[in-house]
Structure 1
Amino acid sequence: MTTTSPGQKPSGKTAETSRQRRSVVRTSLAWSNLSHMWVRTVVSICGIGFAILLMFMQLGFLGSVGDTATVLLDRMPCDVLVRSPDYLHVYDASKIRSDLRPWLNSIDEVDQVVPLDIGVTQWTNPTNQDPRAIAVMGIDLNDPAFELPELTREVRRQLLVEGAVLVDDATKTDFGPKNGVKFGSDDTGTVASVFGTPAKIVGTFKMGTGLAANGALLCSRETFRKLVPGSSDDEVSLLLIRLTEGVSNERGRHMVAGRLNALAGPASHASTLTIEDAKKAEVWRWYTQTPIGMIFAMGVALAVVVGGVISYMILASDVQAHLSEYATLKAMGYGTGFLIRTLLTQSTLLATIAFPPSVVAALALYAITSALAGVPIRMTLTWLVLVAVLSLLMCNAAGLIAIRKLIRAEPANLF
């Protein structure tokens, strides 16, 4: 039988067999390095797992910014949005003329135009009289701007009474729920002061407040004008347009924009977006133009850097601990490439083993943080794939840096 030494290149039919044998040897050696000193390996896995967990948490926080940015837009059953060019975000939408509604309703492609008032006012905690900023949404009770199961015929009848409001059950505890935890049925009938005006709670609704507001009220447009300073009959925050069946959103937007341009003058001072584009713009703004979005984005980058440093320290320590074994392999004729691939295999094994417990820990922390902060934090397939790829890249890059000393050294000097 013909044999080849580690330093020789096999040829012909033996080439593939040799490559397979070296792959098995490489994997076996990498696994032996990990299992030989299991305490060190457990510590290494915990360290890399912590680095992976950091990435999951920062990505989760960043994702929550995007999820909460569209919490209102997701509940709007419309195809096109008409808003002011001065629009900043959904809770600071500025104003457009309310008399645009009949003009836009006359477009053949438009089925319905629904008004929505949004503003921020002052809520006085009914328990301790502390003032708090709260978001208020005024809707047309005949054509509600939101799809909410709580807006039954009976509830809408109750909201006809001036001063009647629904409170979002995600409103924070410092707004004064009776049970001290969450607004619910116990608060029905409570009268609170909103901008100095009595407001009676007639029920709750479930929508979520997001990062821009810690609490929210839903009421009629008439009540809205009493509760929010600066509001009037002549202005509206948003116009939600529902198109006739078969009309694409982009075509409908084009027709609405054309009608606005034809009006000219102050009446044309409005912009149009499809609801999909409005959501994308809202998320993009929160990611790139707000401090909280940029902080979490920077946190993701720092988590990758910190994870890389942790991985490097672990793998550099492992290389130092097995220096004599690697020197022996070099003396036997195994090349630098073999040693690099061995360490990369070891790095991949560490990342692979550390990943599942990190996912479990991240899911647990997501649930805890979401419950405490009242902000939805969820695991997505995108985050799973991204963190898995980043983990492998992080560990393998750290492994390549850690093995530099071994690459430069001569076998005789390593004993």
Structure 2
Amino acid sequence: MSASSTKQNETVSRKRRGVVRTSLAWSNLTHMWMRTVVSICGIGFAILLMFMQLGFLGSVGDTATVLLDRMPYDVILRSPDYLHVYDASKLRNDVGPWVQAIDEVQSAVPLDIGVTQWTNPINQTPRAIAVMGIDLDRPAFDLPELTKEVRGKLLVEGAVLIDDATKADFGPKDGRQFGPQDVGTIASVFGKPAKIVGTFELGTGLAANGAVLCSRETFRKLVPGSSKDQVSLVLVRLAEGIDLDRGRNLVAGRLDALAGPASQASTLTMEDAKKAERWRWYTQTPIGMIFAMGVALAVVVGGVISYMILASDVQAHISEYATLRAMGYGTWFLIRTLLTQSTLLASIAFPPSVLAALVLYAITSSLAGIPIRMTLTWLVLVALLSLLMCNTAGLIAIRKLLRAEPANLF
């Protein structure tokens, strides 16, 4: 026999063994279909749990940057004591004009932000609310609602716009969402009257369930500890054609040259600020760590479920496996068969879990008012974790399979 014929026969033999192995794994699953359905439901539950935890974790990152995403600027200046966007600490108010003097800087816009107490105008219950004070001539946010007419209304002391994503327990008249019907409502903010003159659409974060927008003068009336000599953030737009990193370095160099308190301001590009904000909420807050641990727990739970399923199946078919060994099939064939079976379980359970996750994402987003979305990253990650989970369980269950000796037949 020629070498090419031998090689062809070996290839055919390998293909046949692969078909036999896959057919045997599939037969094990379909032999007792009710048990298989229960197994798929158990593994699907673990996969769904991973999707939900990752969805919640993703929403932490999305809500962390909800404000920064609407700031059309290139560089952000913040205090060295900055914690997160709703607790930004303070900079000197003259930092903005100093930076504005740089030729490569087009504008340096101040933003005041803080969290204070809102009193529900209907039942008088207190709630924590974010207050954002903007320069009405140079708004910090890119919002279509900030028309010239609306900014004119905000010139009146105590006038505010309220985010329509603010939760219902802040007291909208219809009991569900703030809207045109609430224009003219006077609420108490830190004991001071605040008149709603309109709404805007931005979205709240996990640090506060509601937000209002006002002038910097009104901000100083509504937020304790604020001062006209201080500002929370300074947003810098570079001149056209200026490289982002070069512009950031020029701003940082200008502050260093000034020395004193101004030189201590942190200078970040807007993208770096967003990354830092997400990282802080992922790794330094209880809520981010809880959801990250939830993903790990879901993998462990799924692994335990998968192991119980595969170990039970091996025990139920121990005599069949022993027969195969008596017929001359090696241990490696049996191991690959079990791993094929575990891969099939993960593959079958994955699609319905994706559909269930999409439904739950939509329901949770609607009820909780936070964005939860499916991403390609989550799909790929959960698919890999599902295969890892099931195949690891299969490797552990192999211990039972190795006991499948021909002597067990007698």
TM more than 0.5: yes
Give 1:190's aligned residue.
185
Count matched residues: 407
Determine if the alignment matches structure 1 residue 129 to structure 2 residue 124.
yes
Give 1:354's aligned residue.
349
Q: Is the 8 A contact 2:319 2:404 kept in 1?
A: no
- Deviation of 1:102 after TM superposition, in Å, equals 1.5
Q: Is the 8 A contact 1:113 1:241 kept in 2?
A: yes
**AA of the residue aligned to 2:167:** K
CA distance in 2, matches of 1:354, 1:247: 52
Give 2:401's aligned residue.
406
User: SS of the counterpart of 1:35?
Assistant: helix
Give 2:9's aligned residue.
14
**Superposition TM-score, scaled by structure 1 size:** 0.96
Q: How do residues 220-259 of structure 1 correspond to structure 2 at under 5 angstroms?
A: 220-259=215-254
Q: Is the 8 A contact 1:93 1:238 kept in 2?
A: yes
Query: Could you tell me the percent identity over the aligned residues?
Result: 82
Give 1:375's aligned residue.
370
User: SS of the counterpart of 1:403?
Assistant: helix
Say which of 312, 315, 324 aligns to 1:329: 324
Give 1:320's aligned residue.
315
Give 2:262's aligned residue.
267
Determine if the alignment matches structure 1 residue 119 to structure 2 residue 114.
yes
CA root-mean-square deviation: 1.3
C-alpha distance 384-82 of structure 1, shift in aligned 2 (>3 A): same
Determine if the alignment matches structure 1 residue 384 to structure 2 residue 379.
yes
- Deviation of 1:131 after TM superposition, in Å, equals 1.3
C-alpha distance 414-48 of structure 1, shift in aligned 2 (>3 A): farther
Say which of 34, 44, 55 aligns to 1:39: 34
CA distance in 1, matches of 2:181, 2:62: 29
CA distance in 2, matches of 1:270, 1:401: 54
Q: Is the 8 A contact 2:133 2:219 kept in 1?
A: yes
**AA of the residue aligned to 1:136:** V
Give 2:200's aligned residue.
205
Give 2:306's aligned residue.
311
Q: Is the 8 A contact 2:315 2:400 kept in 1?
A: no
CA distance in 2, matches of 1:412, 1:69: 63
Determine if the alignment matches structure 1 residue 366 to structure 2 residue 361.
yes
**AA of the residue aligned to 2:399:** R
CA distance in 1, matches of 2:79, 2:391: 50
Determine if the alignment matches structure 1 residue 156 to structure 2 residue 167.
no
Give 1:26's aligned residue.
21
Q: Is the 8 A contact 1:96 1:269 kept in 2?
A: no
Say which of 280, 291, 294 aligns to 1:296: 291
Say which of 340, 347, 355 aligns to 1:345: 340
Determine if the alignment matches structure 1 residue 85 to structure 2 residue 108.
no
- Deviation of 1:414 after TM superposition, in Å, equals 4.4
Determine if the alignment matches structure 1 residue 72 to structure 2 residue 72.
no
CA distance in 1, matches of 2:125, 2:8: 83
Larger CA deviation: 10-19 vs 343-352: 10-19
- Deviation of 1:409 after TM superposition, in Å, equals 4.0
C-alpha distance 17-228 of structure 1, shift in aligned 2 (>3 A): same
- Deviation of 1:207 after TM superposition, in Å, equals 1.0
- Deviation of 1:255 after TM superposition, in Å, equals 0.3
**AA of the residue aligned to 1:336:** T
Q: Deviations over 1:235-257 (max 9, x none)?
A: 10000000011112211110001
CA distance in 2, matches of 1:336, 1:321: 18
CA distance in 1, matches of 2:90, 2:181: 36
Unaligned 5+ segments in structure 1 are 2-9
User: SS of the counterpart of 1:198?
Assistant: strand
Larger CA deviation: 106-115 vs 149-158: 149-158
Give 2:163's aligned residue.
168
Give 1:5's aligned residue.
none
C-alpha distance 317-86 of structure 1, shift in aligned 2 (>3 A): same
**Superposition TM-score, scaled by structure 2 size:** 0.97
CA distance in 2, matches of 1:413, 1:355: 36
Unaligned 5+ segments in structure 2 are none
User: SS of the counterpart of 1:13?
Assistant: helix
Larger CA deviation: 158-167 vs 262-271: 262-271
Q: Deviations over 1:54-93 (max 9, x none)?
A: 1111111111111111111111111000111011100000
- Deviation of 1:37 after TM superposition, in Å, equals 1.1
- Deviation of 1:189 after TM superposition, in Å, equals 0.8
Q: Is the 8 A contact 2:319 2:408 kept in 1?
A: no
- Deviation of 1:11 after TM superposition, in Å, equals 5.2
- Deviation of 1:12 after TM superposition, in Å, equals 3.5
- Deviation of 1:277 after TM superposition, in Å, equals 0.8
- Deviation of 1:230 after TM superposition, in Å, equals 1.2
Q: Deviations over 1:165-201 (max 9, x none)?
A: 0111111111111111111111111010111111110
Q: Is the 8 A contact 2:318 2:404 kept in 1?
A: no
Determine if the alignment matches structure 1 residue 101 to structure 2 residue 83.
no
